[in-house]
Amino acid sequence: MTHILEADISVELTKNSKLKDIDFNNLPFGKVFSDHMLLCQYKDGAWNAPKVVPYQPITLDPSAKIFHYGQSIFEGMKAYKDKDSNVFLFRPLENWKRFNISSKRLAIPEIPEAYFMEGLKALLKADKDWIPTAPGSALYIRPFVFASGNGFHASPSDEYLFIIATAPSGAYFSGKVTVAIEEKYSRSANGGVGYAKAGGNYAGQFYPTQLAIEKGYNQVVWTDDTSHEYIEEAGAMNIFVRINDTLITAPTSDRILDGITRKSLIEIAKAEGIEVDVRKLKVSELVEAAKNGSLKEMFGSGTAAVISPISGFGYQGTDYELPELETSYAKILKTRITDIQYNRTEDPFGWRVKIQ
């Protein structure tokens, strides 16, 4: 069965809500978890009906294949409340589509749209009071799936668990971010899984990032895997570079994630009359722009921070600072996209989805 209505999803409400113990004015990012989660099991060749249950630990056998072969992917989303306490999602079908693109690449059975969307709606209704209303805050949503079947044989699992867990989170302030342009390590490679939101992609980033932190930077800018000549991503985010009045971002590929925030910003920028150039950008071009003063801005884009401005970068032993702009593209675009997400303005793109 692949068709299901929200009313068909069983909901077991917790008897011990943690809600009263939460300080919604001081929420860290992704460390406080809501009362419920969505749970769905794949077994005997099919997905069972999803259900909403109290948030709880998961018991797995030591031979569960997730521990040995890393079959696991995830998504990142947010739910928002407007001033009238209406609840909205932002382009959720794009998350579902990418979830299945990632699943297919890791030989994980795809999730039916109704299971994902109707299950998510049921979960959000159960935990509506967990969606914060402080400025910049939202309910972070983490759908994920992993191999739960047992066995040491190197092959796809025969059982999986699909879960959606949520975490009320405050505004994501990154401050001034400096980055090191990576010259040795690669985030991903042609023909690999860089375009998928696979857990291993992020695990592989931690060590090079730690090396950059030890040198005084906050994050790494990833370059291509063969020549390290081209700018690709910034940490776990897509990257934008403004040279003069043109906004440049790398095209998606086997190596680069098709970020939902990224492609939304591209559309908003074009609607604002900002020239956008989706093309490969050489590190040498970036350095030259920094030297001659034509480099105006760099910023990362993603679900958590939306936009994270970069104040400077290091390359081959030299640090380059970016100017502080009174009116930046980063500020303009972040205002436009968050106004849509929080229902503060019209949505000319049809991206906002209200949870009835």
Per-residue pLDDT for the chain (356 aa), expressed as one digit of tens each?
Answer: 567 877 789 999 999 999 999 999 899 999 999 999 999 999 999 999 999 999 999 999 999 999 999 999 999 999 999 999 999 999 999 999 999 999 999 999 999 999 999 999 999 999 999 999 998 999 999 999 999 999 999 999 999 999 999 999 988 766 789 999 999 999 999 999 999 999 999 999 999 999 999 999 999 999 999 999 999 999 999 999 999 999 999 999 999 999 999 999 999 999 999 999 999 999 999 999 999 999 999 999 999 999 999 999 999 999 999 999 999 999 999 999 999 999 999 999 999 999 98
| The predicted structure's pLDDT at residue 175 | 73
Residue range(s) of every CATH 3.20.10.10 domain in the chain: 177-341
CA dihedral 11→64→75→188, nearest 10 degrees, is: 180
Cα 106 from Cα 194, distance rounded (Å): 11
Distance CA 55, CA 228 (A): 43
Cα separation of 7 and 252, whole Å?
38
Prediction pTM value: 0.96
Long-range contacts of 325-329 (CB under 8 A, 24+ apart): 325/296, 325/297, 328/296, 328/297, 329/240, 329/242, 329/247, 329/269, 329/274, 329/296, 329/297
State in words which class domain 177-341 has: alpha beta
CB atoms within 10 A of CB 277: 11
- The class level of CATH for 6-169 reads alpha beta
107 dihedral zone (left: phi>0; alpha: psi -120 to 50; beta): left
Tokens of 324: 């502080």
Taking the C-alpha atoms of residue 223 and residue 183, their distance in angstroms, rounded to an integer, is 7
For the chain, give percent helix, strand, coil, nearest 5. 25, 30, 45
pLDDT of residue 296: 98
Cα gap 72→335, rounded to integer Å: 34
Please compute Rg for the chain using Cα positions: 21
All CATH 3.30.470.10 domain ranges in the chain, comma separated: 6-169
CA 145, CA 226: separation in Å to the nearest integer? 31
Contact of 22 with 32, CB cutoff 8 Å: yes
Tokens representing 221 are 């800018």
Q: How far apart are CA 157 and CA 71, in angstroms?
A: 8
Residue ranges in 86-234 assigned as alpha helix (H)? 92-105, 113-126, 199-214
Report the C-alpha gap between 290 and 242 in whole angstroms. 11
